[in-house]
A and B are shown apart, each in its own frame.
Chain A
Amino acid sequence: MGRRWPDARRDRGAAPHAVTASAEHRAAPASDAVRGAVTLALAAYLLGLLLSIAANSSSGASALVRALHGRLFSPWMVPPWLDLGFDYGLTRGLPEDADHRLLVSGRGAAAPALEFPATGMTGQRAARWRRLARAVAVDDADPSGTSVLATGMAEGLFSRVGADDLEVVVSRDPFPERGTAPRSTPEKVSTVRLRRGPAGLQLIRTSDPEELAPLLRPAPPLEGKGR
């Protein structure tokens, strides 16, 4: 102890593993060229860090910040997962901040409905499913109308539920009024019908799935006929 930190007694106010001046000076000095390069790299990174925060804010970002950030910093800050806004408001009191869950059921299928997160699922595992449900709802509300996530999940959901016609519902627990019991009936955020037929995959956003035409299955090909 005394050998490693010779000035420890003089340095009682410092952190437990403080390096004293004499220990520091044992290290090999860095050349000016190395310091210059490190300073340049640090300055670039710190600027990128500030721009990432400005560009990834829920409040939006200016065109200038978006352009600088997107062209100069995103290409090398996104791959290592360092392009982060740290926009951890935790809650804004908006309905979108409530817990979301995903409910998938086969239309007319005897298979039980799937719920994510499933009952009894806790911790980070459940949190990831809640984030997925929220992402599906946000994606579904996107004006571009592509619903990338729901469409992408379709094949996996068909095989898991065992049906070619599914209803995917994202629901959330509304925030309770202050001072009242915290649980109430979940509200539907989005309902998407996914079905697989001869024309391929269909994604139908609907408030009333009953109004849609029934799924028509093609007749099995007759061997030896036709060609």
Chain B
Amino acid sequence: MAFSSAGSAIAAAWERCWFVPALPRPLAIVRILAGTVALALWWSWSADLNTWFGPDGLLPVGAVREWRSPWGMSILDLARSTVVVRGLYLAIGAALVCLTVGLATPLAAPLAAAGFASLLHRAPMLAGPADDCTAVLLWCLVVGRSGDDLSVDRRLAITRGSGTPQPGIRNRIALSLLLVHAAVIAGAALLAQLKADVWWDGSAAWLLSAGSAVPVQFATVFRRSEYLSDAVTHAIALFEGAFTLGVAVPALRRVTGWIGIVGWLLVGVVAGEPWWGAAMAVFAVAVLVNPPTIGRPSE
């Protein structure tokens, strides 16, 4: 009997999590922010595009194929000339722009996600945490109908006399996937950190500040106070743990979202990975704007 009621409770929770329709606006906000981060990361390849992928580039397709997973594939593998490399790169950028502004979103979203993944597969050794998280954000957007609000598509629909955006199950699935990934990424990062002594003895923040990627001279400050370096180290770990738990508890999501937006941006700066911090902040926005499910799923 208890087993049966526990099963019913799990089934009901599953229904609430994935099948209660949601309006597209929260997903539209995520779309704009994720598209902006993706565009910034896409742009970071531009200056060295030919140096890496050109006909006499440093990363020829054959060498990369040997290096990467056998399941990896990229449309850029087919490019044999500078013009084609640049053309494909610009096409990926165009898909990302369309996604960000919400133009032809149902087509732009999968093209942007596939194009972004393709860019990363062309040179996986150049990809970092920000690229990983942004790829996940883009695929989550493919699931939902993020172009139904705050978009060019919406403006065009209004001129055609179409009604207000309707809630949909696809939007809920996309938002719930964003939440699951937000918790999983933060939790996995925390686990990875806790395996290393430096996250226990407090020196991690000091070591991170020594990297040339850190835009602020934290090292100068940390050199003056060991306690401060310890506090920042422990604060990062505590923040990641709290964020993971906060996402999992619906009643805490709103405050978790606000703390997450500020916290991830700061962690990104301290860690010398500001775009990773920005991508994680977009996940935090998804946590903030994700409405708690009210009532029962539609029957």
Q: Which residues of A contact B (CB under 8 A)?
A: 3-4, 11, 13-21, 23-30, 35, 38-39, 42, 46, 49, 53, 57-59, 74-75, 78-93, 97-99, 123-132, 135, 139, 146, 148-149, 151-153, 155-157, 159-160, 173, 175-176, 178-182
Complex CA gap A151/B58 in Å reads 10
With A124-B275, A127-B128 in contact, is A155–B60 under 8 Å at CB? yes
Q: Which residues of A contact B135 (CB under 8 A)?
A: 80-82, 84
Say yes or no: B72 contacts A78, CB within 8 Å: yes
Contacting residue for A19 out of B67, B253, B291, CB 8 A: B291
Annotate B58-78 by CB proximity to A: 1 below 8 A, 0 otherwise.
111011101101011100000
Q: Is B288 at the interface (CB under 8 A from chain A)?
A: yes
Complex CA gap A83/B121 in Å reads 12
Q: Is B99 at the interface (CB under 8 A from chain A)?
A: no
| Cβ contacts A to B, 17 pairs, < 8 Å | A3-B164, A15-B288, A17-B25, A27-B298, A35-B19, A38-B173, A83-B71, A88-B189, A88-B192, A90-B204, A90-B236, A124-B41, A132-B58, A152-B59, A176-B210, A182-B209, A182-B219
Complex CA gap A124/B292 in Å reads 36
Q: Is B94 at the interface (CB under 8 A from chain A)?
A: no
Contacting residue for A14 out of B69, B197, B257, B294, CB 8 A: B294
CB distance from B265 to the nearest CB of A (A): 15
Q: Is B102 at the interface (CB under 8 A from chain A)?
A: no
Q: Which residues of A contact B36 (CB under 8 A)?
A: none
With A79-B71, A91-B204 in contact, is A86–B189 under 8 Å at CB? yes
Question: 15 more A-B contacts (CB under 8 A) besides A92-B195, A92-B196?
Answer: A16-B289, A23-B23, A24-B297, A53-B188, A86-B189, A88-B189, A93-B196, A132-B58, A151-B63, A152-B58, A155-B60, A156-B58, A159-B56, A173-B210, A176-B210
Interface hub of B59, B67, B199, B211 (most chain A Cβ within 10 A): B211
Q: Which residue of A lies closest to B180 (CB)?
A: A46
Contacting residue for B117 out of A79, A152, A182, CB 8 A: A79
Say yes or no: A148 contacts B63, CB within 8 Å: yes
Main secondary structure of the interface of B (DSSP, over half): helix
CB distance from A210 to the nearest CB of B (A): 26
Interface hub of B58, B164, B299 (most chain A Cβ within 10 A): B58
Say yes or no: A85 contacts B289, CB within 8 Å: no
Q: Which residue of B lies closest to A73 (CB)?
A: B71
Q: Is B203 at the interface (CB under 8 A from chain A)?
A: yes
Say yes or no: B168 contacts A38, CB within 8 Å: no
Annotate B39-53 by CB proximity to A: 1 below 8 A, 0 otherwise.
011001101100100
Q: Which residues of B contact A20 (CB under 8 A)?
A: 294
Main secondary structure of the interface of A (DSSP, over half): loop
Interface hub of B69, B131, B181 (most chain A Cβ within 10 A): B69
Say yes or no: B166 contacts A27, CB within 8 Å: yes
CB distance from A39 to the nearest CB of B (A): 7
Q: Which residues of A contact B189 (CB under 8 A)?
A: 86-90
Complex CA gap A60/B165 in Å reads 47
Complex CA gap A175/B196 in Å reads 15
CB distance from A97 to the nearest CB of B (A): 7
Complex CA gap A46/B18 in Å reads 13
CB distance from A133 to the nearest CB of B (A): 10
**B151-205, CB < 8 A from A:** 164, 166-169, 173, 180-181, 184-185, 188-189, 192-193, 195-199, 203-204
Contacting residue for B167 out of A23, A173, A175, CB 8 A: A23
